Amino acid sequence: MAALEEQRLQVGLYVIGSAIEMAEPQVLSYRALKGPAAIKETPRPAWYPSAEVRPAKPNALPDWNAIYPLARRAMKSFRDGGSGFETTLDSWQIAARPVIASREACVSCHNGQVELNQLIGVCSTAQ
């Protein structure tokens, strides 16, 4: 985090769960998509489910509705064996990587709903 701040990069983080494959955006499922978490001075989006609508700042992070289809596409890509997903949205570079249940602790925290070495979600950044 310190290195990102030192380089004055604008970065937002999104966490995408497997519910993204089933839930439509209007359901506002936090199990499907969480974020963005904005790093320091990064302009936050005008809207996402846990916040009130406010005026969009110039070059703001992609909002929840804009990122949702990309998040769904990334999850499908990883289910089909992809190892990375990159695209652009407005002026933001979007990168997504799979999150694998690589330890028993992952399986236990997910209450046995996932198996060891199974895809459990996606971590995505906007830069």
Compute and round to an integer the Cα radius of gyration of the chain: 15
pLDDT at 49: 66
Segments making up each domain of the chain, as ranges: 2-50+60-126
> Which residue, 63, 74, 92, is CA-closest to 20?
74
15-59 pLDDT, tens digit per residue, is: 888 888 887 777 778 788 888 888 777 888 876 666 666 767 778
CA distance 127 to 125: 6
CATH fold of 2-50+60-126: Beta-Lactamase (3.30.450)
Coarse DSSP helix, strand, coil percentages of the chain, rounded to the nearest 5 percent: 25, 25, 45
Neighbours of 94 (CB within 10 A): 21
The pLDDT of residue 62 is above 80:
yes
Q: Is the pTM of this model over 0.85?
A: no
Residue 63 in contact with residue 46, Cβ under 8 Å? yes
